[in-house]
Amino acid sequence: ASTKLRLLEMYNGAGAHTIPLAKSMLLSEIVAVELDERLVNACRNNCRLNNCLKGEASDQDQTLVEVFRGDAAEWAKTLRCIHKKNRLSTDTSPNEISNNGTNDYNEFDILLVDPPRQGLDKTVCEMAIKGTFSQLIYISCGRRALIRDLKLLCSDFDIEDLAVIDLFPGTDAVETLIHLKRKMLK
């Protein structure tokens, strides 16, 4: 049996990516972080409706999702996510996490980000580079910010795949989906 991967999702919104990924059964765990309280509540509700909210799901064999409210930049600065020996409340703040003394963001295999138009905070880029994420999925609606962020991320990651999706024909707005893989050490 192959080992399932752990995913950290930042800027998760209402769970548009979270739920299908949980239902795919390709992951062992998803930790989702979102700042907007309304979206956090919507994501938790969507996870409940799809029977994948950690602590409430009846099917413990499927991928379970923990949803946290927090600013991605603050989390990136202090992230010590969800140590198996010391589970945290989903209302835990980044300060409480840093005071917890665990350092487990390196336990995640994949980082998925879907930031607003202004792109990633520099601390999120630094977390991606310094962490042990083997893969990064970047969904972008801001071309200039994406180019800026890729200049930082491509120091440690190679672009594996890329798709540009025109969701709004007749405008210059496009969604870009990029799959990056960590560069192999020479």
Count of beta carbons in the 10 Å neighbourhood of residue 165:
10
- pLDDT band for position 60 (cuts 50, 70, 90): low
The string of pLDDT tens digits covering residues 175-184 is 999 999 999 8
pLDDT in tens, 13-49: 999 999 999 999 899 999 999 999 999 999 999 999 9
Q: Please determine, for residue 88, whether its predicted confidence score (pLDDT) is greater than 50.
A: no
Give the count of beta carbons closer than 10 Å to the beta carbon of residue 61: 7
Q: Rounded distance, CA 164 to CA 51, Å?
A: 32
CA dihedral 171, 177, 182, 183 (to 10 degrees): -60
What's the pTM value of the predicted model, to 2 decimals? 0.83
In SS3 terms, 140-175 reads as: ECCHHHHHHHHHHHCCCEEEEEEEEECCCCCCCCCE
Confidence at residue 36, expressed as pLDDT on a 0 to 100 scale = 97
